Structure 1
Amino acid sequence: MSTFEENASIGFIILDSNWHFIYANDYGASILNRSPEELLGKMAWAEFPAAIRHASYSYFHQARKSGKEISFNEYVKPSNQWIHVSAFPVGENLHIVIRKTEMLANHFAMENDLYQKYTNYIQDLITLTSEDGILLYVSPSVKNLLGFELEDMYGASVLAFCHPEDMDGLKSIFINEKECATNDQGIVTCRFLHKKGWYVWLENNFKWLLDEQGKRTQNLGIWRDISERKIVEDRFIQAQRLGQFGSFERDLDEDSIVWSVEMFRIHGLEPALRIDLCKAIEPIVVDDREKVALAIKQAILVGMSDIEYKIIRQDGDIRHLRSQIERVVLDGGRMAVRGLVHDITIHKRIEQELTQSKAKLEIAQEIAGLGHYEWDTINNMVYVSDELNALFGCKDAVQTLPIEVLHESIHPEDNLRMKMAIKKALHEGTMDLIFRVVVRDEVRILHTLAKTTYDEWGRALCLFGTVQDITVQKQTEELLRKTEKLHVAGQLAAGIAHEIRNPLTALKGFVKLMCHANEESKLRYYNIMQEEFNRIELILGELLILAKPQAVAYMPHDPITILEEVIQLLNTEAIMNNVEIMLIANTILSSVNCERNQIKQVFVNVIKNAIEAMPSGGILTITAHNQANGVNLQFVDQGQGISEDRLPRIGEPFYTTKEKGTGLGMMVSFTIIEEHHGVIRYQSKLGVGTTVSIQLPASVQ
């Protein structure tokens, strides 16, 4: 031991079985930047925790485990020098001999040379490691990339900074069985620890330096920060997963293909680095394999191709795929094809369902006489179905045309109303309109329902709607109205005959009196007879209004005046049934835009029903008042009332609560009020009576 103590360039240290210092000479302690007294009794790895990453930690354990001497070179940060270390077990202790080396001088020379050549020009990290992965040289760029000082890296194992999940890839460079590695250069990607605790993605382009015998001695690595690229790659992988598309690349000189993770998922397979060409072709349905092969040939010849095909996965599920293929040239001039594969199975299923739905819709439209249209408001073009083409009498079977062409077929009196309705639909979202078209000199009545779609800024994009020919329906309704008028006229005949007989009796008497009267009396008799004639004319005029057809003309009318005329017409029938009609209107009502005779027909139906509902007599109270944007009329009788289960059916054709009724009267009344954009409602209670409310919009002044 005195030999070591006398030699100032040799250090000697002894560690016990628990790694405590039990001896250190002056030189050995000075290398660790301590005095012997400061080391004795201290636990080595607790005193120097950073050494756990260095070669000494693993080699000391290896020497103690094997029982053999192990020698290695180590960089000691406290003294900033390289040393040669020999460690050999003696009993339970580990003896460590330390000698000076010339490696530090070599290191500085190497650093100056490499620094001049590389580090002045690039920001990548340059390392030189031993064959076991010990860092012999680290370029100054490590400070910017990983935050470490050069002294933190020298002598440490490159594996000590690697993320645990990436360790296997980095270890494969430094495996002991070097003969297993066929290449002396390559690329490996891994995450390196930053001094502040996070990890940085690095790509290492490495090359082994060989001695004269061809044995690997050192590993030269150039590490590039690829963190941003990995973020893009991760986003691309996420986009592939969300968009259900995978990617592939095939070197035409190889029998395997590189698939993305999503490509394996689409095919229902476990991810791998590559897939054999035969295994990749196997899922493609037999009928599509030749088509896929031709698409690849086309991409090789012209540079690009696009194809749709089907595959059958191992679970039996059939998937529809669309592939876009392109030709690329790899390093060395090798030809390859790469592309994207999109899983369009859901789109195909939806497309098939839409095709079936469209076919069913077309059949339903043909049966119902419906047509549909779609107006692109941006381009001012309207798509019309075949049925709509026929309804508008278009000469050519065109399906897309300007909206002005359709306006040409609309009845001149309805053209402005149609334009106003469309303008309103673009703002409010819906349209419900009945209008007329002139087709080959024939007037047809059409009903359209439409809805507007908007973009995210609220701009109208499209007006989609249906059109139905309701000409026959309207003609039928008109016939029903005429029938109902004649029915009402027939029912009123007895009352009107009685009403006319009275003045006729008076007229006959006055005629006889005039034969013997003087001139003064004749004039008085003549005035009385004139009043009776006027009364007969009024009654007959009201009857004719109900009996003969009237031209439809919407004009402003006073609803009270119409009510008074109807009351005068029906008052005789009311008296005969012991019913008193009371009209209460405390204010001047707004005018309503209506067809006078149609509204009169509604009032006749409602009042007659009220009279007939009171066979024992009673009071029919009619109140009228203004309300928001219109007038409200209420007819309150003291009749038998209608049960709750029957109320919802009031207005249905052929549904009536009267023994000899047809139910057409109220159906016609409901239709008339609806066409006047009004509302008619029934409220009733058995044994109390019925209230009919009619709301009509006020005419626009």
Structure 2
Amino acid sequence: MNMLEENASIGFIILDSNWHYIYANQYGASVLNRSPEDLIGKMAWTEFPAVIRHATYSHFHQARRSGEEVVFKEYVKLSNQWIHVNAYPVGDNLHVIIRKTEMLANHEAIENNLYQKYTDYVQDLITLTATDGTLLYVSVSIKGLLGYELEDMYGANMLSFCHPEDLDGLKKIFMTEDTDIRNEQGTISCRFLHKKGWYVWFENNSKWLLDEKGKRTQNLGIWRDISERKIGEERFLQAQRLGQFGSFERDLEEDTILWSDEMFRIHGLQPAVRIDLSKAIELIQPDDREKVWLATKQAVLSGVSDTEYRITRQDGEVRHLRSQIERVILDGGRIAVRGLIHDITTHKQIENELIQSKAKLEIAQEIAGLGHYEWDIIHNMVYLSDELTALFGCHNAVKQMPVETLIDSIHPDDQSNAKAAIKNALLKGSLDLVYRVVVREEVRILHTLARTSYDEWGRALCLFGTVQDITVQKQTEELLRKTEKLHVAGQLAAGIAHEIRNPLTALKGFVKLMCHASEESKMRYYHIMQEEFNRIELILGELLILAKPQAVAYMPHDPFLILEEVIQLLNTEAIMNNVEIILCGDSTLPTVNCERNQIKQVFVNVIKNAIEAMPLGGILTITSLKQGNDVILTFVDQGQGISEDRLPRIGEPFYTTKEKGTGLGMMVSFTIIEEHHGCISYQSKLGVGTSVNIQLPASEQ
């Protein structure tokens, strides 16, 4: 633009998108009989309304619509002269160059000069070669592209720089004997040797220059560096190999199809450029050929289509393919289809395996009484599996519901506990809950395990879990507990009979004494007899607790007091086995939220095992303490001990270290403590003794 400003015979004007003057040099304004200051900011057609009827108006609009330069001549009445106008759009603006007609000859010289500058500074490589490939001219860009100096190239044959694998294609340009085709031009891609030893990819657009007789004289070539594009193409081919998809193109008027190399590999054929249409159809399984034909027809009619089909390769292997097809218009208006083929055989195999696994899982869930659910926390909807729909007694059509509706189906006595457990699961990430539901007037016991998923900000998104009907299991466990209670009661019968016999003997004696005693003595005898009756009542009460079914009710109880009652019950048996029971530790323990009789059953099992582990007698030390939010009870005997290989199996059904034991006692004990959210642990050494730790959570104050 500086050159135009300095040249007094060339005008330069810029119009914005609304046809306002935003720039004009001195000559451009003078042609319009104005100064630059008079034009800036004014609209062209308002300032010069007569122009609307002249060539300038239509050509300016044409340049803006087409986006291409428009050249024309115009007579300017204001300055009484003919001008030559070039108008070309730049972004939203229109640039206008104005020259006197006598300047056109000088302009051609300027164009030649600009062409020389273009060939010197353009990034593409420009060559002019003789008919045998000898370089007659090469642009200076050769230095940046291939590292050669100009003097290295003049007189050299460009074929000698070509990659051996691309030489045949380049020779076709220079070595063909067909010289009858006039104005011959073409495009080819090949690699040229860089001065430092590597090869660079170029795309060549060439054109033969002919003499008056139509013979070739020189070849003008423009070579563009396409290395980055080739890298992209190679990556695309690699993606095809790794992703197992190929590309194709079919001209509907031809009997062959253009296939990529990966297409041939997928079909088990040797790579080529094209394949016969009949051969390609032959590979498709007969049952799927019509499907492929309809997909192609749909693509032609609507523009796109998508289908899946099977092929049988030459080696007999069946492959599943997915085809995505689109319609394209080729040169000359011919219709073609092109698209991608994806080998989805592996996906189909996995899909079939998943279908089979799902079917097996559904059968397993049905057998185990197991169902699953998913709570979308954001939308507050719970999605139920078919098994859960049946477990909750829902109508078959009901597959989802708000979480409040699901909680309402829980037994009223368990709802508050369920709500607290769900709230805790959203905070801590997991849920483990046993609760009851009433289904058609029948109480069922269910056990759910679930995990919470969160987003990147820690917001709870989903709670996914399983539900199992454990009604039969719980009934079986309760039966085992009752059986174990009766078993313990039977074992204690001798000691209890002895314990009752002593106060009965005393009572019989006092009855006889009362017949001849004074009133003062009778009152004293009465108080003694009352104490003996109370002792008998206590012993029988403890025995009934072991034998009589009790309703499960979790309430705060003093664990130390429960221990004292159990020790009083078992003290006679301990004495009979020469075992001394010592209770020490903190007698002011916090209460434990528990079912009193179940905890008693656990203490009875642990103490009886300790007594039986000391056949020659010994000391059983029971300590109690508060540790954090837990109550710890430790039972240490001086028995025979348990080997390390047997310790992990304590608590398994029917596993016992006693000769006549059933193994059910400790299994029941473990289950009871787990239901109370506590734990039991064993430590033992052969010949030294065993230590049993029972940990129970203290009640919330």
Change (3 A) 1:162 1:660: closer
1:31-180 to 2 correspondences below 5 Å: 112=112, 115=115, 124-138=124-138, 153-178=153-178
For 1:33, the equivalent position in structure 2 comes to none
Alignment partners' CA distance in 2, 1:320 and 1:592 = 64
The one-character-per-residue Cα deviations of 1:205-262 (angstroms, maximum 9, x if unpaired) are 2222333443322223233343343333223222222222111111222222222222
For 1:276, the equivalent position in structure 2 comes to 276
For 1:366, the equivalent position in structure 2 comes to 366
Alignment partners' CA distance in 2, 1:164 and 1:506 = 122
1:586-665 to 2 correspondences below 5 Å: 588-627=588-627, 629-642=629-642, 647-658=647-658, 660-665=660-665
Does the 8 Å contact 1:129/1:135 carry over to 2? yes
Say yes or no: does 1:566 pair with 2:563.
no
1:366-445 to 2 correspondences below 5 Å: 366-377=366-377, 379-425=379-425, 429-445=429-445
In structure 1, the gaps of 5 or more residues are 1-107
Alignment partners' CA distance in 2, 1:419 and 1:243 = 48
1:338-377 to 2 correspondences below 5 Å: 338-377=338-377
The one-character-per-residue Cα deviations of 1:616-636 (angstroms, maximum 9, x if unpaired) are 433222233344542333323
Instruction: Return the offset for 1:326.
Output: 0.3
For 1:466, the equivalent position in structure 2 comes to 466
For 2:503, the equivalent position in structure 1 comes to 503
What RMSD over aligned residues (CA atoms) do the two structures have, in Å? 3.5
Change (3 A) 1:442 1:311: same
Q: 153-162 or 606-615: which moved more?
A: 153-162
Change (3 A) 1:653 1:113: closer
Provide the aligned length of Structure 1 versus Structure 2: 594
Alignment partners' CA distance in 2, 1:472 and 1:700 = 32
Alignment partners' CA distance in 1, 2:327 and 2:316 = 32
Change (3 A) 1:267 1:678: same
Instruction: Return the offset for 1:393.
Output: 1.2
For 1:580, the equivalent position in structure 2 comes to 580
* Aligned AA (2:554): Y
For 2:309, the equivalent position in structure 1 comes to 309
Alignment partners' CA distance in 1, 2:250 and 2:480 = 78
Alignment partners' CA distance in 2, 1:303 and 1:120 = 46
Say yes or no: does 1:667 pair with 2:667.
yes
Does the 8 Å contact 2:182/2:214 carry over to 1? no
Instruction: Return the offset for 1:347.
Output: 0.4
Instruction: Return the offset for 1:664.
Output: 2.8
Instruction: Return the offset for 1:202.
Output: 2.4
For 2:527, the equivalent position in structure 1 comes to 527
Change (3 A) 1:327 1:635: same
Q: 266-275 or 643-652: which moved more?
A: 643-652
Instruction: Return the offset for 1:400.
Output: 4.0
| Percent identity between the two aligned chains | 80
SS of 2:272's equivalent?
Answer: coil
Q: 330-339 or 650-659: which moved more?
A: 650-659
1:254-265 to 2 correspondences below 5 Å: 254-265=254-265
1:285-300 to 2 correspondences below 5 Å: 285-300=285-300
Alignment partners' CA distance in 1, 2:309 and 2:171 = 43
Does the 8 Å contact 1:131/1:218 carry over to 2? yes
Instruction: Return the offset for 1:170.
Output: 1.7
* Aligned AA (1:557): H
Alignment partners' CA distance in 1, 2:328 and 2:633 = 83
The one-character-per-residue Cα deviations of 1:413-471 (angstroms, maximum 9, x if unpaired) are 43344344445545655443322222233221112233455677776655443221110
Alignment partners' CA distance in 2, 1:196 and 1:110 = 38
Say yes or no: does 1:547 pair with 2:547.
yes
SS of 1:582's equivalent?
Answer: strand
Change (3 A) 1:202 1:361: same
Change (3 A) 1:256 1:497: same
Change (3 A) 1:183 1:695: farther
For 1:51, the equivalent position in structure 2 comes to none
Does the 8 Å contact 1:630/1:695 carry over to 2? yes
SS of 2:283's equivalent?
Answer: coil
Instruction: Return the offset for 1:357.
Output: 1.0
* Aligned AA (1:674): E
Does the 8 Å contact 2:179/2:215 carry over to 1? no
Instruction: Return the offset for 1:679.
Output: 2.4
Alignment partners' CA distance in 2, 1:174 and 1:113 = 30
The one-character-per-residue Cα deviations of 1:549-602 (angstroms, maximum 9, x if unpaired) are 222222333322211111011112222332211123157544433222111111
For 1:245, the equivalent position in structure 2 comes to 245
SS of 2:284's equivalent?
Answer: coil
Does the 8 Å contact 1:447/1:469 carry over to 2? yes
Alignment partners' CA distance in 1, 2:385 and 2:518 = 83
The one-character-per-residue Cα deviations of 1:36-68 (angstroms, maximum 9, x if unpaired) are xxxxxxxxxxxxxxxxxxxxxxxxxxxxxxxxx
SS of 2:395's equivalent?
Answer: coil
* Aligned AA (2:330): L
Does the 8 Å contact 2:284/2:311 carry over to 1? yes
Does the 8 Å contact 1:386/1:397 carry over to 2? no
Instruction: Return the offset for 1:133.
Output: 1.6
Say yes or no: does 1:536 pair with 2:525.
no
For 2:450, the equivalent position in structure 1 comes to 450
Change (3 A) 1:412 1:231: farther
Alignment partners' CA distance in 1, 2:598 and 2:298 = 75
The one-character-per-residue Cα deviations of 1:523-570 (angstroms, maximum 9, x if unpaired) are 433433333333233223222322322222223333222111110111
TM-score (norm 1): 0.76
Alignment partners' CA distance in 2, 1:181 and 1:688 = 110
For 2:184, the equivalent position in structure 1 comes to 184
Does the 8 Å contact 2:251/2:337 carry over to 1? yes
Alignment partners' CA distance in 2, 1:456 and 1:235 = 33
Change (3 A) 1:569 1:223: same
For 1:61, the equivalent position in structure 2 comes to none
TM-score (norm 2): 0.76
Alignment partners' CA distance in 2, 1:582 and 1:552 = 30
For 1:475, the equivalent position in structure 2 comes to 475
Does the 8 Å contact 2:120/2:139 carry over to 1? no
Alignment partners' CA distance in 1, 2:152 and 2:553 = 100
Does the 8 Å contact 1:115/1:139 carry over to 2? no
Q: 208-217 or 341-350: which moved more?
A: 208-217
